[in-house]
Amino acid sequence: MDSKSLVTAVAKDEKMMVDSLCSMLRIRAVGPENEGKGEGERGRFLLDLAKKLGFKSVELLESIDSRVPSGRRPNILIRVKGTGDKNLFVVTHMDTVPEGDVNAWKSPPYEPKVVNGRIYGRGSEDNGQELIASLFGLKALMDAGITPEFNICLVFVSDEEHGNTHGIDFLVQKGIFKNGDLAVVPDHGEEDGSAICVVEKSIAWINVEVVGKQTHGSTPARGVNAFEVAARFLVSVVDELRRKFTEEDPLFDVPISTFSPTKCDANVPNINTIPGRQQFAFDFRILPNYKIDDVTAVMRKMADEFEKASGAKINLTYIQRADAAPKTPVDSEIVVRLSEAITAARGIRPHPLGIGGGTCAAPFRRIGIEAVAWSTIPGVAHDANEYANVRDIVADAQVYAILFAGKNVKHA
């Protein structure tokens, strides 16, 4: 079979893809951190769907979690043996964020509707679309009697929306993924499917607490104005970091490290009091060639100088820290093969990309797996009225089918 015939075969399953996604979206799969019951019911639906579609090797691995009714969080592995020894994983997640303000939805978030080629419902884009697309991409190979080039494993994980403890991390500890494997993690995407994410910046969210001395507004010299010290420190830190860490990397959509002051807490409720305490936060997105520790060392040195000059105490605390994982080389096997599949399916030439946000491809890169983040999405994850485009589900299933087939199909 050639790739055009495979693309045509995938398209014939469009109605089944839409129906399957809608059926899945009717099952709420919110984690216990947000007062949800977890992914158990959705996992049972997917186990049943995989078997109905004819997959023979379907495995359930459960992580213990007493916070959900069943006491377990499901992870599902669907395997198809290939002609070679290498493993190729596509890792999607079953859980979703909560629906948020129900009144902001035009239709009930767990009663999916198909309107003008869009499937509306919580979890439709994030991550239901790619879960269904990968499943039907592999089904197309099975229906066509094509043995994939790699050992293919579709992985549907729990707990992606709240840290991966019961999903990706659990499976890594089980030894499911090994150095030398390849992975596609549809945790980032563009509207035209042309960007393959190969690296992320380091992320550091840092809380700054300035402790001074409160006093009456008419006698400021008797106190230490924590707000004023915080303001001067904030501006000085931003100016110094932007001056010192100036390298650029055109691979990233924002090619520089960014140092942004963001959240600022209230201090005193009245105007005529000099505040003795002020808190605010920074959001740093740092290019991988810099170390977070080098950035924060500059910040700490400046804090020491401000303490000595002002008499205030400045406490710095990480709210979140994620050091950049190793980059998947732009000429790596997974990038080359995925690029070829996208071109064969759509006639476009994709490009590698680095992003400022974290993705779930990073945990795989840290254990020596060439992993990329890729999908075709409108970018409405977590929004009210979240949707997935029907055409994107089909198009991505076509790309997966060609990727899985590898050299066992010819390109026109």
Contact 312, 212 (CB under 8 A): yes
Rounded Cα gap, residues 198 and 299, in angstroms? 29
Catalytic choice (130, 149, 160, 190): 160
Contact 292, 202 (CB under 8 A): yes
DSSP 3-state of 397: helix
283 is catalytic: no
What are 322's two structure tokens? 């994620």
Q: What CA–CA distance (Å, rounded) separates 157 from 59? A: 12
For CA atoms 9, 15, 19, 21, the dihedral sign is positive
Residues 31, 123: Cα–Cα separation, whole Å:
13
Q: Is 126 a catalytic residue?
A: no
- The DSSP output letter for 360 is T
Q: Which two tokens stand for residue 266?
A: 């209230």
Report the C-alpha gap between 341 and 10 in whole angstroms: 14
Which residues, in sequence order, are bridge partners of residue 61? 75
CB 158 within 8 A of CB 166: yes
One of 13, 95, 209, 386 is an active-site residue; which one? 95
Q: What are the beta bridge partners of residue 260?
A: 283
Close Cβ partners of 139 (under 8 Å, ≥ 6 residues apart)? 13, 53, 54, 55
Residue whose entry in the numeric block shows the structure tokens 């469009």:
14
Q: How would DSSP label each residue in 15-62? A: HHHHHHHHHHHTS--B-GGGT---SHHHHHHHHHHHHHTT-SEEEEEE
What is the strand order of the sheet 182-184 is part of?
A: 57-64, 72-80, 151-157, 87-93, 182-184, 370-372
Contact 316, 296 (CB under 8 A): yes
Radius of gyration of the chain (CA): 25
Active site residues: 95, 160
